């Protein structure tokens, strides 16, 4: 993303790569980092203030999908679970956790 914005060279010396995604928010909460760039749901933690999302043209959506395997032992239960994941109640939880239900 820094390349696309034309600021990669300036950011290189300021960037502290973390060992795992969860470490990004921890570094910010401790004050070791002033800016974190990652998935919204990972950055929503105590001690971190979410400034907002990047403009749509800089976004890279992460889409989760579900399917029922042809040889599953309990297809109705799998289908019921997938139906549940599409309810307004689940959508509200996903939004609260920084995800965009689709």
Contact at 8 Å (CB) between 43 and 53? no
Neighbours of 85 (CB within 10 A): 13
Residue 10 shares a structural domain with residue 53: yes
Number of domains in the chain: 2
Which pLDDT does position 53 carry in this prediction? Answer: 84
Residue 16 shares a structural domain with residue 46: yes
Token pair recorded at residue 14: 């300021």
Q: Calculate the CA dihedral of residues 78, 83, 86, 90 and round it to 10 degrees.
A: -70
Which pLDDT does position 86 carry in this prediction? Answer: 94
Which pLDDT does position 90 carry in this prediction? Answer: 96
Which pLDDT does position 48 carry in this prediction? Answer: 92
Interatomic CA distance for residues 58 and 38, integer angstroms: 12
Residue 56 shares a structural domain with residue 98: no
Q: Is the pLDDT of residue 24 over 90?
A: yes
Residues of the chain above pLDDT 90, percent? 57
Q: Which domain holds residue 95?
A: 63-102
Give tens-digit pLDDT for 46-93.
Answer: 999 988 888 888 888 888 899 999 999 999 999 999 999 999 999 999
Residue 71 shares a structural domain with residue 51: no
Contact at 8 Å (CB) between 68 and 87? no
Contact at 8 Å (CB) between 42 and 24? yes
Confidence of residue 10 (pLDDT cuts 50, 70, 90): very high
Contact at 8 Å (CB) between 94 and 102? no
Q: Is the pLDDT of residue 9 over 90?
A: yes
- Alpha carbon of 22 to those of 25, 27, 55, 88: distances in Å? 6, 9, 23, 28
Residue 56 shares a structural domain with residue 67: no
Average pLDDT over the chain reads 91
Residue 4 shares a structural domain with residue 41: yes
């Amino acid at each position: 993303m820094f390349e696309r914005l034309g600021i990669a060279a300036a950011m290189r010396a300021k960037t502290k790569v973390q060992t795992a995604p969860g470490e990004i928010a921890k570094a910010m909460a401790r004050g070791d980092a002033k800016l974190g760039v990652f998935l919204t749901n990972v950055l929503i933690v105590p001690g971190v203030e979410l400034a907002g999302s990047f403009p749509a043209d800089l976004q890279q959506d992460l889409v989760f999908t579900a399917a029922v395997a042809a040889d599953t032992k309990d297809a109705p239960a799998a289908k019921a679970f997938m139906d549940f994941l599409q309810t307004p109640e689940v959508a509200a939880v996903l939004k609260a956790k920084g995800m965009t239900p689709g």
